[in-house]
Chains A and B, each alone.
Chain A
Amino acid sequence: MSFKKYLPIVLYMLAGTSCTYPFTLDEDTFEERLVIEGDILVGGITDVRISNVHPLGGEDVIKKINCDAWVEAEDGTIYSSSESGRKCLIDTRSASPQVRHKLHVLDKIAGEEYVTPWLVVQRKAEIDSLSFQYDEMDDKLKFNISVSADENSQYFRWSFEEDWEYHAYYDSQYEFIPPMEFRDGDDPDYGSIIPRENSIYFCWGHMESFQIMIGTTNNLTHDKLIEHNFYSVPCTSLKLQSLYRLKVSMRTLSKEAYQYWNTIFTNSNDTGDLTAPMPSNIRGNLSSTTETGKYVIGYINASELSMEELYYDNNRYNLFIDKKAYPLLENVDPSLWYKYSRDNNIPISVMTGPSPVFLWAPADCSDCRRYGGNKNKPADWPTDHE
């Protein structure tokens, strides 16, 4: 439990005396360590990644890594990796949850092998539902998960992928083709405006979770999580502007794996306060077969994967808060098109008449690609927008 964030509040409240300043370590604290990540996913693809600890602020030396990995089942089956190097993918779709497994990682350069103990495949828990809830006090959308487990599957870790569709404020129907050489006078060449072939009105964003999201039913009267909040999105986020999808993956953890993740969470998010737990090094379950006690970062868990997805449609719930102020469209004389274009404006539409007039707007509110997304629409996206 951290009180770090409370102390400045108390002092702010009392006298406005407390301040936080950027801080860098004077000393070079770097210590080289190997990191191995790769839960054994029974019924899926085991993704093993081998990396190194990087210096905090200094120059990183990319160390060459060439590893091989394989999963050994207690029944003697070996599941080999299709690749080697920093990333090894092992097809464990046919692995049985009834037998124990262990992960082997071979550092080909150092000639050193790391191995886990036999790991029991954790019993799969089901995601009952995903839901969201509007938090009007903080103006955010809280995403909740409900899980049915049993006494042998009480610890969980979630990860997610989120996709969202959004659109620019103005739907640009035209695009400006600049002149080869700007020319004014009797024979001007101001460039031309042609109908836009590829819409820049709709875009899609995609992110994968980086947060550590863990939970347990260990303290509850029954092995169920009901509407457990694990993630929130501010209502001002563009993610909620149109259609948002959250795809959640859940794996059941052993108690030890849960403690390991909890420690990483504490070490990375909850340090510094005198009343917060001091950061600590917790040993993983990988050990070197040649050097006893060698410190390797990583805890390997064996489980199956449960998945669930949820859509939020803003047309239905209308919780998105648009705080952006948008300029009015401007009627631009052709002689200024080129200048306008160079000033990051694009033509939006045309007022037809005896002499058509093109209306322009800043690209920042007309080109959806400028908001971090792109035109890569997910293959299974439910709308027909392009």
Chain B
Amino acid sequence: MSDMAGFRTIASIFLLLAALHTASGENIEVKRVEPDSLVSFLRGRLGQKVYFLRNEMDKATYSVAAGDSESFVSKAMSEFRSKGYTVSSYDGRWFITSDLEIASSLPYGYFSANPDGAGEMSEYTADDALVASFQNRVYEIGDKNDSKTGKACISGFVKNIATGEPVIGASVYNEKNGVYTVTDAYGFYTIMMPLGEGELSYSGYSMEEVTLNLVVNDDGNLDVLMKEHVTSLKEAVVSADRMAIHRNAKMGMEKIRINTLTKVPVAFGEADVLKVVQTLPGVKTVGEASSGFNVRGGSVDQNLILFNEGTIYNPSHMFGIFSAFNTEVINDLELYKSSIPAEFGGRISSVLDIKGREGNANKVQGSLGIGLLTSRFHLEGPFKKGKTTFLIGGRTTYSNWMMKLLPASSGYSGGKAQFFDVNASVTHKFNERNSIQAYGYYSRDKFSFRRDTVFHYSNLNAAVKWRSTFGTGHSVVAAIGYDEYGNTLDNTVNETEAYKYITHIRQAYAKANFKSIIDDRNTLVYGLQSVFYIMSPGTMKPLGEKSFVKEKTLNMENALEMALFAGETWTPNSKFTLDAGVRFSGFVAMNPAKFYCMPEARLSAKYSFLPNLSLKAGFNTMRQYIHLVTNSTSISPMDTWKLSDKDIRPQDGWQASAGMYWSVANNRVDLSLEGYYKQTYNHPDYKSGAILVMNDNIAEDLVPTKAQAYGVEFMVKKPQGKLNGWISYTYSRSLLKEMHDRGAQTINGGAWYPAAYDKPHDLKVVANYKFTHRYSVSMNIDYSTGRPVTVPVGTYDYGGGMRLAYSERNAYRIPDYFRMDLAMSIEPGHNLKKFTHASVTFGVYNVTARKNAYSVYFTTTGGNTVRGYKLSVFACPIPYVNLNLKF
């Protein structure tokens, strides 16, 4: 194998403005002209290739005179320098900028594993064709004297030219051979290319698409810097996201970029990860202000929420009004509803993989967001340029401060409600092949609306990730980390019975995910993961000196979950792709010991009848060893988690799905139709009257249930263009049934009953219209069938008062849900000289003022009257404004 050749590229596309000026005789002279005119003169009359970025503050006039062209050009450049411009030249081109020096080549050793390895670098420079020269140049990879035959492996990083950040999820593909890959979380890619001449295209969301002409002689590196696309409003750029759907076999995967996320209107105006996830087909929630979400008929605990590899057990602040994620530090998120890759496991419904950003590698920058209820900030930049970057972010609410302002007569002035979350990460690049990232996240909520009851809950994640590439086409991402979720309740209603209730789940994990490009048709992923759980199901302690509460701690639960996985992507031709994987998971519960293990299958296939028409089918089996113990509709701060043990079996599930994907209107619009059927077993539901807090033998109050869910999801998506967004309609059902007959005690007599999140009809519209680059409006529509509830079927007298007799579980439904939101965004201008760039979003949530039912409930008052109530949490239009400053 020959030494790998290094190629260094810069992508920059310039718009040239041409204007003609005249010169007379041998003496060339211009007098008192504006700089643009001088540049035009240089270009048009003197044939100079000039890139000019005018300083908007430059109001000066220019006068230049010389005897010949060469002198004139020289004097003109001196004149520009005297006015504060930076002038550089390369290969006959002039770069005149107001504050930036244009580098015509990358710094020496920019990507090199060996800074001294000059011999490994093949310098790339722009050639004579000024515009798009980058794409028309032929890049030679490997020594042409090498005698390699067959295929060569090309790998490298794709980065944003402006920030140095990796471009995650960019498509890298060879259209001719149908070879396709995407960049990973580090912007790294590896792809097999046939030897000889060929093309390699790079396409990332909102990035300029690039197609390179290659001559491949051997394995080699090819790093690419991409430039953010300045969207032409009339243009529809074929983005990687759109055509990607026809290139891979994955089904039920939704990817949301941060740009999209910030456009969707939400209550109180703060961009919200979970609220945007809830606009996707197949994702439901039990209420507007509820924690968690339900994917394709699964319960909330069947979603694995990963934030930079760490598990988030409660993804919400303030009962679900806000998500626990600061969007300023997020790059993108992926939701897997169906074809869950073999590298993910441990939950049976979905995986929500939220990837944080790396800090800007070139300069320090940040942002400050000010909303009606919350504020957030972030700061990022290089510690050591090109080597070490940092990113920190934080968010908090001032609701506590607002509560203090409430008058005593409101009855709430003594209450408190507050939250905050902080993120920090440091990334260090040892060399081209090795980098390491340390990451931390902490969020905390505190409520006290009565003097005698205070709630807390918190998430903590810390992780160190190491990424390395080795050999040809091999890479590994290894991580170790620690996650913690805990909640406490301080109850002082009765002084002698005052107590503190504490639960927590702690987990330490280690994982190594490998990826190997076998050849241009086969890609293998494999690895191992293990999680060690330490769970405290509940501790009750006396609170205060007068308390007689008996300190009690339920038995700690410890367990080790391990998994080995391997997955293969086989692409025999451009029409057919098969993803096949197996995950072998094992679980050892301790005290008492119990071992479970099971192989899980992951299978999905794609066949493209046309380049823009594909059919896919998939089959998954999943297993879950950790369960949320709850008898409420949504996640409550009082809920606890339970590990599988000798009494609580793991949850198992399988899902079969099929779908058709069709890109129409010159591939500007994607149509998709997916259907699925899934079954799960051993999902623990609560018995009627169950006691779930401080229960020594909680298994006795839980019953295993069987669930079946099925549905079809139709989606029309227009990712880009002046009008963009999506419309989705879902018909689905989600039913539960107790697995064992307990006679008269069996829930609903052993018959199927709808899950609390069973909402058959679901229509969602997310639309964004750009008037100009700066001004856009967004609309969001959400309609769904009302969720099932258990309601009173009558009243009876008992114990001296009127009581309520209830129906079978979830036998009725609350009224249907409908909501429309509107928002307008004003993005900052492109004045690069400004220190800050402000964007403003304002809008109205629930413009139709529909009084949607958050819940309906019935109470008996005075012992002899029953009253029904509908609680509508956003019963009126909610205007909001959000100011975001970037610096």
Residues of A within 8 A of B (CB): 1, 3-15, 17-25, 27, 29-31, 33, 35, 37, 49, 51-57, 137, 159, 208-212, 219-222, 224-229, 259-264, 267-269, 271-283, 292-293, 295, 297-298
Contacts and interface: CB of A to CB of B under 8 A. Distances in A.
B636 interface: yes
Contact of A274 (B552, B797, B855, B863): B855
Contacts of A212: 799, 801
Contact of B851 (A21, A275, A278, A282): A21
A290 B866 CA distance: 34
Interface string B796-808: 1111111111111
Interface string B851-867: 10111111110111011
20 contacts: A7-B319, A11-B873, A13-B415, A15-B268, A23-B853, A23-B868, A55-B794, A209-B800, A210-B800, A220-B497, A220-B548, A228-B494, A259-B689, A262-B689, A272-B855, A274-B634, A275-B637, A281-B808, A295-B744, A297-B796
A212 B798 CA distance: 10
Highest count of chain B CB atoms <10 Å: which of A57, A212, A219, A259: A219
A14 B373 contact: yes
B494 A31 contact: no
B857 A273 contact: yes
A4 B855 contact: yes
B321 A10 contact: yes
B409 to A, nearest CB: 13
B798 A29 contact: no
Nearest to A53: B794
Contact of A13 (B402, B694, B811, B855): B402
Contacts of B633: 274-275, 278
Residue of A21, A278, A292 with most partner-chain B CB within 10 A = A278
Nearest to B795: A54
B412 interface: yes
A275 B290 CA distance: 8
A279 B691 contact: no
B865 to A, nearest CB: 11
A262 B632 CA distance: 16
Given A7-B319, A210-B864, A268 B796 contact: no
Given A7-B871, A227-B496, A283 B744 contact: yes
What 6 A-B pairs have minimum CB-CB distances, sorted nearest first? A272-B857, A210-B863, A210-B801, A275-B636, A280-B688, A282-B689
Contact of A30 (B794, B797, B855): B794
Contact of B319 (A3, A27, A292, A297): A3
B310 to A, nearest CB: 24
B395 to A, nearest CB: 15
Contact of B548 (A37, A224, A280): A224
Contacts of B417: 10, 13
Contacts of A15: 268, 372-373, 878
A159 B799 CA distance: 8
A37 to B, nearest CB: 5
B552 to A, nearest CB: 7
Given A211-B801, A297-B796, 15 more contacts: A7-B854, A9-B415, A29-B794, A56-B794, A137-B451, A219-B499, A219-B540, A221-B548, A225-B496, A226-B496, A228-B496, A259-B689, A259-B691, A268-B801, A281-B688
Residue among A24, A220, A275, A277 with the most chain B CB within 10 A? A275
A240 B75 CA distance: 101
A73 to B, nearest CB: 25
B44 interface: no
B698 interface: no
A31 B795 contact: no
A338 B287 CA distance: 62
B863 A211 contact: yes
A341 to B, nearest CB: 33
Contacts of B412: 9, 12-13
A67 to B, nearest CB: 15
A13 B399 contact: yes
A298 to B, nearest CB: 7
Contacts of A219: 497, 499, 540, 549-550, 552, 694
Contacts of A51: 796-797
Contacts of A293: 743-744
A18 B871 contact: yes
B805 A222 contact: no
B812 interface: yes
Given A219-B552, A229-B493, A271-B857, A53 B795 contact: yes
B548 A3 contact: no
A292 B744 contact: yes
A35 B798 contact: yes
B447 interface: yes
A212 B859 CA distance: 13
Most buried by A among B406, B451, B796, B864: B796
Contacts of A224: 548
A113 B387 CA distance: 84
A297 B399 contact: no
B508 interface: no
A279 B790 contact: yes
A9 B863 contact: no
B869 A283 contact: no
Given A219-B499, A221-B549, A264-B803, A272 B688 contact: no
Contacts of B796: 33, 35, 51-54, 297
B873 A18 contact: yes
B790 A159 contact: no
A22 B857 contact: no
B792 interface: yes
Residue from A19, A57, A298 having most chain B Cβ neighbours under 10 A = A19
B808 A272 contact: no
B638 interface: yes
A222 B548 CA distance: 7
B665 interface: no
The winner among A208, A268, A269, A281 for most chain B CB atoms within 10 A is A268
B807 to A, nearest CB: 6
A237 B797 CA distance: 26
Contacts of A11: 289, 321, 873-874
Interface in B679-706: 686, 688-691, 693-694
B875 interface: yes
Contacts of A4: 855, 857, 871
Contacts of A35: 796-798
B854 A297 contact: no
Interface string B184-199: 0000000000000000
B249 interface: no
Interface in B799-846: 799-809, 811-812
Contacts of A55: 794
Given A159-B799, A219-B540, A297-B798, A17 B878 contact: yes
Nearest to B864: A210
Contacts of B289: 7, 11, 274
A261 B799 contact: yes
Contacts of A52: 796
Contacts of A33: 794, 796, 805
A209 to B, nearest CB: 6
Contacts of B871: 4, 7-8, 18-20, 272-273
Nearest to B410: A12
Given A14-B268, A23-B869, A282 B688 contact: yes
Task: Choose among A30, A222, A264 the residue with the greatest number of B CB atoms under 10 Å from its CB.
Answer: A264
Nearest to B540: A219
Given A14-B399, A226-B496, A278 B689 contact: no
Given A14-B402, A274-B634, A280-B806, A20 B793 contact: no
Nearest to B694: A219
Contact of A56 (B415, B497, B795, B876): B795
A6 B447 contact: yes
A27 B813 CA distance: 10
Contacts of A225: 496-497
